[in-house]
Structure 1
């Protein structure tokens, strides 16, 4: 999502779903923080941070600004695909983060996207959201449009639907097995007074097309917190980022474990008002990133923790010693008071 000041305000049935049951220049300056032990690295009992890197901040590659990152994915060759919200998709070296390639993206008319969510399919094609309409398109690795997925009318931006521009599809992930795709709305649509956001799914059809499937409701902690990213775990649960910004205070970024497998299918519910019988996606706080050690990080604007910035992208890069290796990235909005920063986390979840 592009830079937007979100002021904090004081806020104090259908059948159960079944489809989620697991059916860079060499001269770039690198600033990397480290710590010596898991205890020193702890953000919470479940999450630790190994290091961070500002190596790509305010750099360019092949004439393209490196930054504005909104999503990450692991490609088939192990490299990191990094999507920026101004219509470019980078391939980064997984170890050094240095760019290896950049591919421009556009819609069917050649217009730029507000590209926010990214998932790489089993054949290497890229599923990419744009929050302008919103939309999800399938692209080849060289940026050619292959397909466009249907979107429920209620999730379209007004006046076509009830969503607010710049507050639509942000997170995107393929569930275990690759049969189901899930996209998270960033903020509630008009009429959903409960404060819950919609998570929409699609199921795969012949020819690797996708059709609309169940929808679920997830409630962020506060009205100024949105959902910039989701990532599926092997058992069908999700890692969910909640993120917000308060002018003069800084960012709030929290990581949750969420379980959509017993949530109500809300695709047929016009408005979510907190009505009984609608079971939300259950969630458990894993860590507030403000509680992580600073590791010597500095911030260019007020922050609760100088490590924080506008974190938007997340990907699971592997598993080691019972913990998932999770990479986060911040969107600097090409703004001098923000930083493109990568965060290397280790996350432990209960079975």
Structure 2
């Protein structure tokens, strides 16, 4: 059964942070010179954090926890957002929300999102997903407005593959866009993962080209056979995959290098985990044009927290690795440049996993809306929506 509910709109105490004009120094990913003046950075990059809206921990809507938001997409025609929960059908059903985040000038107009509806996602058999049978991560509306695309990371540890699927706006299964063979998890007789996407480091990112003809996804970290996961001193060669939206056929693949983990852990995670943990990966991607993208890299260290950075990157000049079972290490990766660093701006961004273009701002600049996953309250995370502005001509940014 599919569920769509209407939510009353109202107000609650805003627990968010607001920061305008707090910009960070520019550093190139290849380690070249750093400009320390925030004013120079602002002039050259034009990315600003305008406002943050925080949803109180433990918020429940439509009988399910309002949390786990890992993907978000804006529909300019209706002014509404679609937000995907990464609930593995454990706290509630696998689902997405429709909501509004109206603006008042260059800030959020209200102190909480206006929730319009909740839609339960169906599996390929037309039923809600069983517990732990899916791990939703990213979502985008299709150009026709009648369906949407979404990803699941799967669970490589148990042989559950990642996928990209199309669904109706009411949550019904339409089709699956098959991933190339190198993405499929392969395990040895002893149970060791020898190839494919890493467990919990698969398809976090999904976007459509501006014309809607291409589907682009990126792995959070490298495929097992391609290289290591990101470490404190080690980059990870993720794969960006371009597919034809209509046929689902792969058209190109490129290497995107994830930067090393920002911090070492200083304390264990809370029970029941109780271990030290640190990682870094691509948590979302957003198309600027047919070759250039924005990426969100999320770094985490227990005892320290999250470090969130926004990058420009491009496939121009990068090696096409289509058809390669494994990378050789000689491939030319995508160029990238740091655009915004939440930590350096003094903002606790929390677990940012979604990004979308938002409405135009009064000064003519384009807005970005980012959402942070609250992990359903684990380790103190809360749901946050961040509003950023970006100058025009972002596609011309180059290192």
Q: Classify the TM-score, shorter chain.
A: 0.7 to 0.9
SS of residue in 2 equivalent to 1:326 = strand
Alpha-carbon distance in structure 2 between the residues aligned to 1:235 and 1:215? 13
Query: Which residue in the other structure is 2:33 paired with?
Result: none
Kindly provide the CA deviation profile for residues 292-348 of structure 1, in whole angstroms up to 9, marking residues without a partner as x: 244xxxxxxxxxxxx231111111113444643111111111025111111111123
Aligned to 1:333: 375
Alignment of 1:147-296 (within 5 A): 147-159=175-187, 161-193=195-227, 195-205=236-246, 209-222=247-260, 224-234=279-289, 236-275=291-330, 278-294=331-347
What 5-or-longer segments of structure 1 have no aligned partner?
1-23, 295-306
RMSD: 2.1
Aligned to 1:83: 84
Higher relative contact order (CA 8 A, sep 6+): 1
Deviations 1:133-188 (A, max 9, x none): 21111111101111111111211233395222221111100012111110111111
Within 5 Å, which residues of 2 pair with 1:51-66? Answer: 51-55=51-55, 57-66=57-66
**Unmatched runs of 5 consecutive residues or more in structure 2:** 1-6, 26-40, 88-93, 103-109, 155-160, 188-192, 229-235, 262-278
> Which structure has the larger Rg?
2
Task: Give yes or no for contact 1:201–1:215 (8 Å, CA) kept in 2.
Answer: yes
In structure 2, the CA distance between the partners of 1:148 and 1:56, relative to structure 1 (3 Å rule), is farther
Q: Does 1:309 align with 2:350?
A: yes
Q: Secondary structure at the match of 1:77?
A: coil
**2:139 equivalent in structure 1:** 118
Aligned length: 308
Q: Tell me, in whole angstroms, the C-alpha distance in 2 between the residues paired with 1:324 and 1:163.
A: 34
8 A Cα contact 2:139 2:150, kept in partner: yes
**Residue 101 of structure 2: aligned partner:** 94
In structure 2, C-alpha distance between the alignment counterparts of 1:59 and 1:28, rounded to whole Å: 11
Distance (Å, rounded) in 2 between the aligned partners of 1:114 and 1:79 = 24
Give the Cα separation in 1 of the matches to 2:241 and 2:353: 19
Task: Output the CA distance in 2 between the equivalents of 1:148 and 1:235.
Answer: 23
Secondary structure of the 1:335 match is: helix
- Does the residue aligned with 1:129 lie in a helix, a strand or coil? strand
Alignment check: 8 A CA contact 1:34 1:51 kept: yes
Per-residue deviation, 1:257: 0.3
How far is the alpha carbon of 1:84 from its aligned partner? 0.6
Question: 2 CA distance for matches of 1:282 and 1:319?
Answer: 28
Give distance in 2, aligned partners of 1:60 and 1:162: 36
